[in-house]
Amino acid sequence: MTSRSVLTGRVPRRIAHICRIRRERARQGPDPDGQRGTSLIELSIVLGVLVFLLFGIIVYGVTMSYRQSLDQAANEAARAAAVAPRDLAVSRAQAAVERALSPYDTPCGATTKGLTCTFTIDPCDGSPSTDCMTVTLSYDLQGHPRVAAIPGVTSTLPDTLRSRAVVELNPT
């Protein structure tokens, strides 16, 4: 079917009007309103905000993942100390922390890695006849960041990540 009317051979008014508008726009050039490059500036602003948000999500995700690993390591150390003989409780707890954090290459006591492990044996609260071990893991996040520093994002993170677990020791 053609755009001309079958009976009269003329172009319908609506199609003629659309064609006239297209010809006028073609004569005016590609930027009749003087808005050349506006969309590029808008894109760069929006893209900058989106990239900032994306990196913020990544930084917080990595930091919270390591925090969860510290919690898991403290719990595993407490479990290892609970089932070990009392004289081996500290060494077994430290070995459990080393195993749990081995993917992160942060051994206990290595001051160059930022992790501090403390194993304290004291009488339990409420039951002075039994001993409890407190496992405290502390990671210096400010001195040893897990990801590269991003202005505005890493400044909102805590300086130190801490995890603590308490367990009653085996009396034998």
Does residue 32 belong to any structural domain of this protein?
A: no
Which pLDDT does position 33 carry in this prediction?
Answer: 66
Which pLDDT does position 171 carry in this prediction?
Answer: 78
Does residue 152 belong to any structural domain of this protein?
A: yes
Residue in the block written with tokens 């930084």:
59
Query: What domain range is 111 assigned to?
Result: 40-168
Contacts of residue 144, defined as CB under 8 A and 6 or more positions apart, other chains included, come to 113, 114
d(CA 144, CA 110): 12
**How far apart are the two ends of the chain, measured CA to CA in Å?**
98
Number of domains observed in the structure of the chain: 1
Which pLDDT does position 150 carry in this prediction?
Answer: 79
Which pLDDT does position 15 carry in this prediction?
Answer: 81
Q: What is the pTM of this model?
A: 0.71
Answer yes or no: are the C-beta atoms of 128 and 109 closer than 8 Å. no
Does residue 29 belong to any structural domain of this protein?
A: no
Which pLDDT does position 135 carry in this prediction?
Answer: 96
Does residue 110 belong to any structural domain of this protein?
A: yes
Does residue 2 belong to any structural domain of this protein?
A: no
Per-10-residue mean pLDDT, the chain, length 172 = 55 77 73 72 92 90 93 95 91 93 84 86 86 93 84 84 92 74
Instruction: Give the pair of three-digit tokens for residue 20.
Output: 């006239």
